Amino acid sequence: MLSSNNIKPTWGSRKSSKKLGRGNGSGKWTFCGRGMNGQNSRSGWWVPDWFEWGQTPLFRRLPKLKGFSNFRFKKHFNIINLSDLEKLASSWIVDIDKKVLLENNLISNENLLIKLLGKGELTKKVNVKVNKASGSSVESVEKVWWKVELK
């Protein structure tokens, strides 16, 4: 009767592992398939995972990177240009802050800081509240006798 405790594979469908060190008649006795000399023929041999057996290792093939990247603690900003402020100022908005920029879809992420850059020209008077500003943008806003507040 067939049951789960007496099931066996068909004879010849499973290959048995090679018996090593069982005499010269077994075919794998004297050196047991390890060769005659070298690191691999010794007992207890070990090589690290990164070892590539004589090929130039990966860490030596890759170019050495220059400089430093502060990717973990880098501050990310929403970028606003003076040309964007000019468009808002033409719609009679004088005080520009994060809330106004979000309402007018000039910034996409409300969690990021806001940085003002000097691309474009500003002709109308506006009061700008941002986290950071470039020198040229501050000069352009103050040229039309208004101010930039840095939070």
- Measured between alpha carbons, how far is residue 130 from residues 25, 70, 117 in Å? 86, 23, 11
**Average pLDDT of the chain, as a whole number:** 87
What pLDDT digit, counting tens, does each position of 41-88 carry? 888 888 898 899 899 999 899 888 888 888 889 899 999 999 988 888
Once rounded to an integer, what is the mean pLDDT over residues 116-138?
88
Rounded Cα distance between 137 and 97, Å, is 15
Rounded Cα distance between 138 and 142, Å, is 6
* CA end-to-end span of the chain: 84
Residues 82, 122: contact at Cβ < 8 Å?
yes
Looking at residue 12, what DSSP letter applies? T
- Domain 77-150 maps to which CATH number in 3.20.20.140, 3.100.10.10, 3.40.50.1370, 1.10.12.10? 3.100.10.10
pLDDT class of 125 with cuts at 50, 70, 90: confident
Other CB atoms within 10 A of residue 87 CB = 13
Query: What residue spans define the domains of the chain?
Result: 77-150
Looking at residue 93, its pLDDT comes to 72
Looking at residue 29, its pLDDT comes to 79
